[in-house]
Structure 1
Amino acid sequence: MPTYEQVFENNLAWLKEKKGRNQSFFENLAKEQRPDYLYIGCSDSRVTAEDLMGAGPGEVFVHRNIANLVNATDLNVMSVIEYAVRSLEVKHIIVCGHYNCVGVKAAMQPVDMGLLNPWLRNIRDVYRLHKEELNAIKNVPERYDRLVELNVQEQCINVIKLASVQQQYLKKGYPTVHGWVFDIRTGLLKDLKLDFVKLLKGIQEIYYLGD
């Protein structure tokens, strides 16, 4: 792990490496961003969006929080989605969880977590909705893994509920919402293959927010 001073040395080395390959790299980077992807992931320091996607600077608009939640009362994530959809016109919105997520594990423990309680309650609500399926999984690590997947699914649904997402899709045919899980133990990305169109139609029966 680099020391504080080494971080700036690493920055200079990175700068030289980028300009060595492309003298106009930073000039081009300073231009207006037009990413096709909005990535909503976990704040876990072991999981970085661009690395696991093989993407470069400017190609992914990123928001991260504990356990990759999309909470309607969180103005941070709501603002990010609104800007990504209305201004950047992203084509894909990805909610990406990861196995061995500390936030998900904490939410499954009946323990007072102080200031984290309101945040973790969102995951506990997912647990409550799928309690029968989860409790039927006797292997505890496998139960955690399944809750990670179900949490991603529910957060994707929360994205689809939003007016900006529904209106943009009806108007332009995008963005499409995807649910992924990163297996931190193998390095592989898992596409949960959510049926976006089916989810959208089901949600519109209750949450329709078209123009």
Structure 2
Amino acid sequence: MENNVLKTSFNKIIDGNKEWVEFVKNDDTGRFDQLSKGQSPEILWIGCADSRVPANELTGKKPGEVFVHRNIANMCVHSDMSMLSVLDYAVNVLKVKHVIVAGHYGCGGVAASLSSKQYGIIDNWLCHIKDVYRLHAQEIDAIEDQEKKTDRLVELNVKEQVFNLCSTSIIQNAWKERQDLAIHGMVINIGTGELIDLNHTFTSNESLGDIFAYL
């Protein structure tokens, strides 16, 4: 027997698409015709999979202007071939100028990483965030309020993921060829919609340290 609740919910998705089709059909700017022929975004957004943090809306960009990769807690793991493939394509084919790692306050993944509770297979992914905690344990442990503790780890996690991106051969080789590529760390305040610049931007490998900076 078909579940009527699911059918109704699914129909809303179809109806939403019909509204979008009408919007595209009535748009007289020509941008959708142009988009059908290719894309040339200037931004790669690496954000959290959380449904509350859509890249285009937060940056005020239209379809075709933001290339997006999302996962739990906006992680940039060196062995993640999905993330690396997106990064390589965005940097070397699309020639994006800005790569934004965007965390958000109240991140469930970051909050979960601060507990010893098991959640399932995601525990293995959260170990990467626990590694960030380990690097900054003294600072995090000194914060008594749990919400503030989580939000501070959100900020520190973003900074560590920015560093992870900068230490990839993809980014460093791109820097050898051009100067118009910047890696930024930002945090979203969901309650206000504000995209907060953490002033953690890299445009070369000069400040990475000898071990991380490729020749």
TM normalised by structure 2 equals 0.92
What CA RMSD, in Å, does the superposition of the two structures yield over aligned residues? 1.6
Asked whether 1:196 is paired with 2:207, we answer no
3-state secondary structure, aligned to 2:13 = helix
Tell me how far 1:113 sits from its aligned partner: 2.7
Q: CA deviation at 1:100?
A: 0.7
Inter-partner Cα distance in structure 2 for 1:23 and 1:81: 30
8 Å contact kept, 1:162–1:209: no
In 2: Cα distance, 1:196 partner to 1:208 partner? 12
**Identity among equivalent pairs (%):** 41
**How far does residue 197 in structure 1 lie from its aligned partner after superposition?**
4.7
1:119 is the counterpart of 2:145: no
Structure 1 residues 176 and 52 mapped into 2: Cα distance closer, same or farther (>3 Å)?
Answer: same
Q: Could you tell me how far apart the structure 2 residues matched to 1:94 and 1:23 are?
A: 28
Question: Which residue of 1 is the match for residue 5 of structure 2?
Answer: none
Which residue of 72, 81, 100 maps to 1:75?
81
Matches within 5 A, 1:56-75: 56-75=62-81
CA contact (8 A) 1:37 1:60 kept: yes
Q: CA deviation at 1:37?
A: 0.3
Q: Which residue of the partner structure matches residue 134 of structure 2? A: 128
Residue segments in structure 2 that go unaligned for 5+ positions in a row: 1-7
Aligned to 2:187: 181
Amino acid at match of 1:203: L
**Structure 1 consecutive aligned stretches of length 4 or more whose deviation exceeds 4 Å:** none
1:103 aligns with 2:109: yes
Letter in 2 for 1:41: G
Q: Which residue of 2 aligns with 1:208?
A: 213
SS in 2 for 1:72: coil
Match of 1:169 in 2: 175
Query: Is 1:20–2:26 an aligned residue pair?
Result: yes
Larger helix percent: 1
Matched, 1:55 2:61: yes
3-state SS of paired residue (2:191): coil
The whole-number CA distance in structure 1 between the counterparts of 2:99 and 2:203 is: 14
Q: Is the 8 A contact 1:168 1:174 kept in 2?
A: no
Distance 1:112 1:193, change over 3 A: same
- For the 8 Å contact 1:101–1:148, the answer to whether it is kept is yes
Determine the structure 1 residue equivalent to 2:164. Answer: 158
CA distance 1:197–1:10, shift in 2 (3 Å): closer
- Distance apart, 1:140 and its partner CA: 1.3
